[in-house]
Amino acid sequence: MTALEIAKKYVALCKEGRNEEALDSLFSKDAVSVEAGGPPGMDRTSKGMDAIRAKGKWWTDNHTVHKAEVFGPYPHDDRFAVRFVYDITNKPSGQRMTMDEVGLFTVENGKITREEFFYSQG
Amino acid sequence: MTALEIAKKYVALCKEGRNEEALDSLFSKDAVSVEAGGPPGMDRTSKGMDAIRAKGKWWTDNHTVHKAEVFGPYPHDDRFAVRFVYDITNKPSGQRMTMDEVGLFTVENGKITREEFFYSQG
């Protein structure tokens, strides 16, 4: 698939809540995921699909999603951006919040090799 | 200014329609601007502030802006993203359209040195 086809497929799966399927089918096994920030003691960078899936599981275990909106993709050559707006409750704190962020994805050889998340902290 | 301060200032100026002031005060004179695509014969890459201002003038001369929304900034270390949603009419064609794009900005030594625009074409 071209970068544009991958971008469209990624967004289509995320809009349907099939995020794990997106990881399985569109990412390189060596992909790297980088957060803008993170809880103390948690590494901002996840290397490889096992680490990325573990981060996803941690996030899913710790948040209730009330509503998820996905905008995009916004392509630029072999990269694309996606905007995510999630209405969530953090389970440990019980705090409900809006998560508004931009993901930047890099495609190489037909797979997503890098995702970086952009958002304000605190 | 830190990258975060520059990001906030950039968005604040754009929200007030003071885009030229943002170029004058926040960009390096050697900054590079890269479009996702462009009209035939027009270079996607503008190098230096003279070229960037010329592109801005071309855009302003050729579009009527009915409404401009600016979302962000979305920071990540020395980069930040901004989402722009513009309701515009292309003057030559008379066609009214929504321009929905993500800008990715890179900050070095207290100035924006690179802007890249992400959007679908056609």
Q: Per residue in A44-100, pLDDT tens?
A: 999 999 999 999 999 999 999 999 999 999 999 999 999 999 999 999 999 999 999
Q: Could B81 and A34 be called an inter-chain contact, meaning their C-beta atoms sit closer than 8 Å?
A: no
Residue corresponding to tokens 């943002």: B22
Work out the angle at residue A38's Cα, subtended by the Cα atoms of residues A31 and A74, and round it to the nearest 5 degrees. Answer: 50
Q: Per residue in B44-68, pLDDT tens?
A: 999 999 999 999 999 999 999 999 9
Q: Could A34 and B120 be called an inter-chain contact, meaning their C-beta atoms sit closer than 8 Å?
A: no
Q: Order of strands across the sheet with A63-76?
A: A45-47, A27-34, A111-118, A96-108, A79-90, A63-76
Q: Number of helices and strands (H, E) in chain B?
A: 3, 6
Q: To 10 degrees, what angle do helices A19-26 and A3-15 make?
A: 160
Q: Could B118 and A34 be called an inter-chain contact, meaning their C-beta atoms sit closer than 8 Å?
A: no
* pTM of the predicted protein model: 0.94
Average pLDDT, chain A: 95
Q: Determine the Cα–Cα distance for residues B32 and B52; give it in Å rounded to an integer.
A: 8
Mutation for A interface: B32, B82, B104, B105, most A CBs within 10 A: B104
Report the residue from A34, A75, A118 with minimal CB separation from B81.
Answer: A118
Looking at residue A75, its amino acid is P
Q: Which has the closest alpha carbon to B112: B12, B21, B33?
A: B33
Residue corresponding to tokens 């003038």: B57
User: Do residues A76 and B117 lie in contact, with contact meaning Cβ atoms separated by under 8 Å?
Assistant: yes
> Is the pLDDT at A122 greater than 70, yes or no?
no
Query: For residue B116, what is the nearest residue in chain A, using CA coordinates?
Result: A76
Provide, as residue numbers in chain B, all residues whose Cβ is less than 8 Å from the Cβ of A36.
74-77
